[in-house]
A and B are shown apart, each in its own frame.
Chain A
């Protein structure tokens, strides 16, 4: 095409020469008449049918060249996009997987939990009453936690299992992968369904396992069904259960004490949750009047709410945080693109002067923006994928359903869309500015570098101020959590967790579990454990704090009036062997530890927690007073007061707690009940506790081959895990805050650098007129810090308003904690000061002579 045009011009020149013009003039006129060669070429390209792809290739090529020319700025845009998209997609996937996706049961939305105060278990007789009389449910079933010993005499294994009423499994709507559910009634009493994981572990996935008999707690059970892989039940408690056997209530069916059942139900078709709640309230009110104190505070709660309730708040806060990060990232991208546009104004003017049409230029900028969003989006998706795998690792223990999290296509699409919109919106600005009619003045302005109008600069500053405000909010949130975590770590667990190991021994179903034998076994084992090298002290308790269960039992205080039904105080029930307090290093505030002499036949004694002593014996010494706790024959005399020890939740407030000497509790002496069929040993070691664990296992095996060891923990790990949830949220929020902080610093640096770069001329004039270098530095710093101050004030105000949402995640600090705010503001102002100082120094280095020439 160029050839042809050249030929055209030559011919035209020739024609003009023939008409008598001088060759030079002829040529000039010919060129003038032809018009700009570039315009003609542009016009031809406009009509080309292949123009779309031609231009796309051209635009992409041009965009890539620009990318190579200023890699820093473009890299910053891509990085900001990647961080924004990555963090949003990852967090949104978590929210989706944990909160939004339905549970893996048929019509899971219809499933509810019917329990006291949402999650407290129910007595058998109450369950049976509800099952019989409730009308709003298609089906109602109950489950009870069960930890049977599987096995042979040589290789016992402790299983996690559930005893479930006949309605329970069919209600979930998940059929066994093989076989069937246990039959109803007596026919199915010795049948069990197992999880795919157990089937693989114990039977090597052998289809012949169906119909085989296994021995649980010494009783044979036939395996009649194998559940599909990934089936879990129950979803919020006993989540490790791998075996489901029928619940046989027997004589317990009439019991309105011993709350051990978790009750599940499926709403009848067309019945709303509100309706079910109302009719349950009516039913329990009626039952409460017949059996006072047994049917209080019964709630109908959607199963899903129970499953996710603990995690909901952390996730909502994380989601808010990641939203802020995304906004910061978008603001950053926006002003990076704006400053890039400003520095390209001259280029745009030149191209327009050379004949590029407005639409053509807009296309060019659009292509560049899309290139940037594509690069940022790809990097973001990779980042999100990586973040999710990290999330799964560190959240495995503290977030329910964490394994169902996966990177979601919708999520990625959402984040990509957002980034594309941002880049398009702000990438277009320079193209639109082309509508400015006077190219000459644009060219001249660009030459002098003063074209970034007041309006452009104001928009840039507004973006930075909002970025700073958002970053301050995140920093406040993160420092609140850090301070709260420090407070959490400073909580005294009441015992010394270092150099402490613990394990559980079960005797149920073994020869040692027979009535009259277990006490001797427990004591023999303790003696042997104490003889293991590197063991300094050892004792045993029914449930270890933090790692174990908590059982509450009612108690009464001697000489006080009989409490009204339903108002009987309860205390956490601990049964210990001698020297427990010494081993755990739980200090006794008053009185004495149990001794070998506190055995059956001797006077019954009890040690109570400080809280119980202070609450029930205010202003007097509890020592010598008598209370009556389940498990004792008569009144027990308080011989000691122990300091508060954490229970299952790290943040739990102190409550009533009683310790009974195991040697005096009949259940452990001559009972065959499973409740006394296991004991947790605590061992204080001189060296690394994990090094002693093999020796401990050997010791148990030497004494009894059929008593399985389970729940082997090093206590520091348990403590670590107890603060895991807080650590998890803290880590993520910390990372988000750091990202936002960095983006804000980069942002203000970018804006100030750009402001300095475009005003070199003005700075030169100021210096010529006598402004000192210090004055210039002060001027630039002042400008940057004004923007920072506005952002910081807005951010602090925002954090004050939004802080309330975090209050229940905080421990030991209020949402208006002054040091947390001070930290956040200091961190940001420091970063901003550095970010402003660098361009300010550059401004002071302007040489007025070169600048003004």
Chain B
């Protein structure tokens, strides 16, 4: 497993949207889910996670509400809105395009 590091710039939003696509999660839950779905490649710190959540909520992609964690602790849960889902699709398509393009670019002999 490669050592974990910060998220590639520009991908945090996509990762958050993706991590919420299965259901609502609290902040730490999102961070853990991102680690899990990227096989531990990316580590998300509170300093970048919460500003992103705040920004995305203002953009109307997420909603949040207070709830209870599995351990019966108070936590704020985030879930995708309809607009958030559309944003996820759009960003996924866009990211695939970038990945394909880069894949070709790096395969071609120079």
Q: Which residues of A contact B (CB under 8 A)?
A: 1, 3-5, 7-8, 10-12, 14-15, 33-35, 39-40, 43-44, 46-49
Secondary structure at chain A's binding surface: helix, strand, loop or mixed? helix
Contact of A40 among B46, B55, B74 (CB under 8 A): B46
Q: List 19 interface pairs A-B (beta carbons < 8 Å), by A numbering.
A: A1-B50, A1-B54, A3-B76, A4-B27, A7-B26, A7-B27, A7-B73, A7-B76, A8-B28, A33-B45, A33-B46, A34-B45, A35-B46, A40-B46, A40-B47, A40-B51, A43-B51, A47-B54, A48-B58
- Cα A35 to Cα B44 in complex, Å, equals 12
Residue of A nearest to B32 (CB): A15
**Across-interface contacts of A39 in B (CB, < 8 A):** 47
- Cα A48 to Cα B75 in complex, Å, equals 22
**Across-interface contacts of B74 in A (CB, < 8 A):** 3, 7
**Across-interface contacts of B73 in A (CB, < 8 A):** 7, 10-11, 14
CB–CB A5/B28 < 8 A: no
Chain B interface residue number, banded: 10 to 19
CB–CB B54/A48 < 8 A: yes
Q: What per-residue 1/0 map shows which CB atoms of B26-53 lie under 8 Å from chain A?
A: 1110000000000000000111101110
**Across-interface contacts of A8 in B (CB, < 8 A):** 26-28, 46, 50, 75
Contact of A11 among B26, B48, B50 (CB under 8 A): B26
> Residue B4 at the A interface, CB < 8 A?
no
Most chain A CB within a 10 A radius of its CB, from B28, B55, B74: B28
- Cα A44 to Cα B76 in complex, Å, equals 16
8 pairs of A and B residues whose beta carbons are closest in the complex = A47-B55, A11-B28, A34-B46, A43-B51, A35-B47, A4-B76, A44-B51, A47-B51
Residue of A nearest to B45 (CB): A35
Q: What per-residue 1/0 map shows which CB atoms of B54-75 lie under 8 Å from chain A?
A: 1100100000000001010111
**Across-interface contacts of A46 in B (CB, < 8 A):** 51
Q: Which residues of B contact A (CB under 8 A)?
A: 26-28, 45-48, 50-52, 54-55, 58, 69, 71, 73-76
Rounded to whole Å, the gap between the CB of A53 and the closest CB of chain B is 15
- Cα A720 to Cα B75 in complex, Å, equals 86
**Across-interface contacts of B75 in A (CB, < 8 A):** 7-8, 11
Residue of B nearest to A34 (CB): B46
CB–CB B50/A44 < 8 A: yes
Rounded to whole Å, the gap between the CB of A26 and the closest CB of chain B is 13
Most chain B CB within a 10 A radius of its CB, from A1, A11, A47: A11
- Cα A669 to Cα B46 in complex, Å, equals 112
CB–CB B54/A44 < 8 A: yes
**Across-interface contacts of A5 in B (CB, < 8 A):** 46, 50
CB–CB B47/A43 < 8 A: yes
CB–CB B47/A12 < 8 A: no
Contact of B50 among A14, A33, A40, A49 (CB under 8 A): A40
Most chain A CB within a 10 A radius of its CB, from B46, B55, B69, B74: B46
**Across-interface contacts of A44 in B (CB, < 8 A):** 50-51, 54
Rounded to whole Å, the gap between the CB of A74 and the closest CB of chain B is 35
- Cα A33 to Cα B43 in complex, Å, equals 11
- Cα A11 to Cα B29 in complex, Å, equals 9
Residue of B nearest to A10 (CB): B73
